[in-house]
Each structure stands twice: as C-alpha cells, then as structure tokens.
A and B are shown apart, each in its own frame.
Chain A
Amino acid sequence: MYDAILAESVQFAGANGDLLEGYSARPLDATARGGVVVIHHLPGYDRETKEFVRRFAVMGYNAVCPNLYTRLAPGASHDDAAAVARAQGGVPDDQVVGDVAGAATYLRALSNANGKIGVIGHCSGGRHTFLMSTELPIDAAVVCYGGLIVGETPPQMSSMVPLVDRSPKVRCPILGLFGNDDKFPTPEQVDVLEKSLTEGGKDYEFHRYDGAGHAFFSPDRPSYRVEAAVDGWQRIDAFFAKHLAG
C-alpha cells in the first residue's frame, strides 16, 4: 500500500481575498478522498494542531489548518501571534467563516479531492466549528468541547456571541465530544445545545466522557485522558468515514 503524505505550509485566499498561511498535509495517492479543515484554538496555530493535521492525512484525508492570525502577525511564532490576537480581542467570527471557506476551497481544488469537506476544532475552534456548520456548505462538523456556544460572553470578547440560537441553521451532521468534568462548556450547557439540535431535527451524535474535562485530546497537557481520547478518535474516524466518503 502506498502511504506517503506531504506536509507543508501553503497559501490560499481567505476572507476578503486576503492571502492566508495554512498548514497542509495530504496523501500523495491519487485516489479521490475527502478534505478536513482543522480550526486552531485561541492559543494559536501551534505544533499540536499541526499534528492533528498530519494525523488526518495519515487517516486518508487531505487536511489543512488556516492560520487565523496570519494578518495580525505574519511570520511570527505561533505564541507571539496568539499574544497579538489576544491583545486585540481575538478575531471576528465573520472573518473566521471566510478563512475556513477559503481553506475548504483550497481542499476542493486538490487533484485528488472528492468534494466532501469536514471541519473539526477544539476549544474555541470547537465553537468556530459549530459556527461553520451553520454558515458553510460542508458535509460534517466535529465539535470538541467547544465553549461559548451556550452561555454568557465575557465583556472583553463581545464579538464572540453565543451561537446556540443558530441551531435551526445547522446544515450538516455534527459529532460532539465533551468531558463531563468540563466547566466550559458545562454538562448543563451541552444539554442546552443538544436540546436545540433535537428540537431542530438535526443529525447529530454527542459522546460525553466521565473522568474527563476540557482538552482531554491534548497529550502534552495534564488534562489528557487516554480513554476519552482514544474513544474520541475512533468516533471521529467513523464519523468522517461515513460522511466524507464519495
């Protein structure tokens, strides 16, 4: 079996046609396959997120992570860029939508693309992923412990409005993975989100893990929970296999 992948920094147009940096990993095999956009968390376009991108390529998908802080700090290290973004109040939701749309366009243009697109994000990237499920023509969305979908928005980040009221606009299947010890989102907030999807007749599946809190997928952090992470990856694998085939 030919299993070579290519991982590299790339460029593509994001919101407003702005040129964005992205990290791409894709199988070199010519067989048609789906694409996965990975949305990085607020602390930035970091090594761990790039490892996720490579993992999706090994799983058989073309994958890319747009650097949402390209405009704020071109060429800066990921932690310095995140500090600039933090000081400026984050990045606007509308801009993130445009940037992820650009990443999806990049993936669809690859010679071995089948046209299907999945989006995944953790933490604030999980919130953004839910937003994408309401705004973009994508085929699958994986929300990993996305905070601020339900609940109050801190005054410092007033542009990051709660999103649960947009549930009626969800246009693709959603896989949600949450830790029952998480404080952001709390299990009660996950209940509210689930209720909104149920009432809207949306296609979704949530999995909630006991003994896991926030960021249980992060192997370099004390929050890592191997059982939840291993099961979660299996769920992601099955979900994308179902919805990105073609």
Chain B
Amino acid sequence: MCTHVTETLEVQGSAKGATGWIRVTDATVYFDHPVHALADHTLNIDLRRPADGPAARVGVELTAASARSLAETILAVLDAVPAALVES
C-alpha cells in the first residue's frame, strides 16, 4: 500500500543533490513505494531545505534490511567517537 507511516524532524547539516550542495533543515522518514529502488516498499528518507523549494531535496530509498543496517552503523559510529566531539 501507500503507507502513511511518516515521521518528520528538523536536522542541521548538508546534503548533495541535483543542484549541488544543500544546507538541509528538515528530514522526512517513511516507509512506502519507492520511486526507483527495485522493491515493493522501502525505507525512504528525504533530506530537505523547504525554504529553497521542492527540488532542494536529497532522496534515499533503502530496503528495510539495508535501512536497519545503516541505522545501526550510524549509531555505532557515533558511539565510537569521543563524546566531546559529538556534544553539538
């Protein structure tokens, strides 16, 4: 189905999209049909800067297993970094 399970959050950082680097301010995380990935459903992440319009976006579509692995890896990397470096 077109699932409506969607979470949004504010983020700070940059992402490189079709028009170059974007200072992203918002993220949307959801599970739904992909545009491009070869799977029925994928974990999708949109890193966005709405102030610059709809095209200021980097989209990612990952299989559920890949997304879980990526999330665990991100947390593992953050946990391995000296705490003083990740306070902000």
Contact = CB atoms under 8 A, between A and B. Distances in A.
A83 B1 contact: no
A168 interface: no
B26 A87 contact: yes
A145 B1 contact: yes
Given A87-B48, A213-B40, A147 B2 contact: yes
A162 interface: no
Interface residues of A, number: 37
Contact of B40 (A89, A156, A222): A222
B11 interface: no
A123 B1 contact: yes
Interface in B23-80: 26, 28, 30, 32-33, 35, 38-40, 46, 48, 50, 53-55, 57, 59
Given A43-B33, A83-B48, A213-B40, A148 B54 contact: no
Interface stretch (A3-11, A71-79, A238-246): A71-79
A90 B40 contact: no
A223 interface: yes
B14 interface: no
Contacts of A72: 54
A80 B55 contact: yes
A72 B50 CA distance: 11
Interface in A158-187: 160, 182-185
Contacts of B5: 154, 156
Contacts of A80: 54-55, 57
Contacts of A65: none
Interface of A: 41-43, 46, 72-73, 76-77, 79-81, 83-84, 86-87, 89-90, 123-124, 145, 147-148, 153-154, 156-157, 160, 182-185, 213-215, 221-223
- Nearest 8 A/B pairs, CB to CB: A184-B1, A42-B2, A147-B1, A76-B54, A157-B4, A80-B54, A73-B54, A124-B2
